[in-house]
Homo-oligomer: A and B are copies of this chain.
Amino acid sequence: MHRSRLAGFIIDCNTDDLDTAAEFWGAALGYPPKKLPAPEESNYVRLDTGGENLHIEVQKVDHPSRVHVDIESDDIEAEVRRLENLGARRVGRVRTWCVMEAPTGQRFCVVRVQNPGFDATAGRWED
């Protein structure tokens, strides 16, 4: 048995100026941008949604700008297999997460547990 849920949405921005991108999206959505402290997170700015069930981040990327879904799980490999069984395709591993592609073509990621609300709200899946 493993668990998963929608973790949030990442606003991928093809830009050299992450701060300006985060400033736009923060003002547009009404959520203050909040730089992540860890140096390995320097390509991300979190938008402070005030909740504990959904994260929204602005990310600096090299590919074209888009928005993608993150699914969080307490067992990434089991969750990737569940999603493969639903028809998704494994694209590749990046650091701690797995990039996948939906049958309808959107890229999305399976990530480690991000939100404090995970335990209360995650779905349970038999492996």
Chain A contacts to B: CB under 8 angstroms: 4-6, 9, 11, 13-15, 20-21, 24-25, 27-31, 49, 54, 56, 64-69, 71, 83, 86-88, 102-106, 108, 122-123
Contact = CB atoms under 8 A, between A and B. Distances in A.
Given A9-B9, A54-B54, A65 B28 contact: no
Contacts of A4: 30
A30 B125 CA distance: 10
A4 B88 CA distance: 35
Contacts of A9: 9, 67, 69
6 contacts: A5-B29, A6-B29, A6-B31, A24-B88, A28-B88, A67-B69
